[in-house]
């Protein structure tokens, strides 16, 4: 499988449609839960797309969007940090961090290295010293958490961003690894 990576800083109607198509397929088993509904995702996406340093990487197999990752830069004053359950160590937010807000790959492309290629593609031209993400520890019976640990991420806190959201483990790693 050859997957082409396409980088986007703006959500044109075509890019948005491809992302929503991939998201709905990736999250299909969870779409009945309020936090995972496409409408809830769109609300988050619209907010994230206006934040500093927004970038989206979509992976394509031919014309089929097979996976995605997007994030933006967060600095000391960002609400990303204020929602952490435990106080952060002094100086932890002194330098900007790339916060990966979403990452997902459709089932036929899982286990092929596609998720890692899309993830690494997002990190390729970034200037931040660290990258952070959140993971549901129950996702894939813990498999997703273990995958991120294998990619060099370490847990540092927990967060529940909304009443509808699961409790997520916040992870961070140096950039580049």
Which pLDDT score is estimated for 2? 87
Chunked into runs of 10 residues, the chain (177 residues) has average pLDDT values of: 93 97 93 88 95 97 97 93 93 95 95 96 95 89 92 94 82 90
Q: Contact 141/99 with Cβ under 8 angstroms? A: no
pLDDT tens column, 72-105: 999 998 989 999 999 999 999 999 999 999 999 9
Which pLDDT score is estimated for 161? 72
Instruction: Enumerate domains of the chain plus CATH numbers.
Output: 4-174 (3.40.630.30)
Which pLDDT score is estimated for 1? 66
- Pull the structure tokens for residue 105: 């790959």
């Amino acid at each position: 499988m050859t997957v082409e990576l396409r980088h986007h800083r703006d959500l044109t109607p075509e890019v948005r449609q491809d992302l929503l198509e991939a998201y709905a397929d990736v999250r299909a088993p969870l779409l009945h839960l309020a936090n995972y509904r496409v409408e809830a995702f769109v609300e988050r996406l619209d907010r994230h797309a206006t934040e500093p340093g927004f970038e989206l990487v979509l992976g394509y197999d031919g014309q089929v969007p097979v996976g995605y990752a997007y994030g933006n830069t967060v600095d000391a004053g960002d609400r990303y940090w204020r929602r952490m359950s435990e106080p952060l160590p002094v100086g932890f937010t002194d330098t900007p961090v790339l916060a990966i807000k979403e990452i997902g790959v459709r089932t036929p492309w899982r286990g092929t290295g596609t998720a890692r290629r899309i993830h690494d593609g997002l990190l390729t031209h970034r200037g931040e010293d660290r990258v952070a993400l959140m993971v549901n520890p129950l996702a894939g019976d813990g498999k997703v958490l273990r995958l991120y640990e294998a990619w060099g991420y370490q847990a540092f806190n927990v967060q529940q961003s909304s009443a509808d959201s699961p409790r997520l483990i916040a992870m961070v790693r140096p950039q580049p690894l």
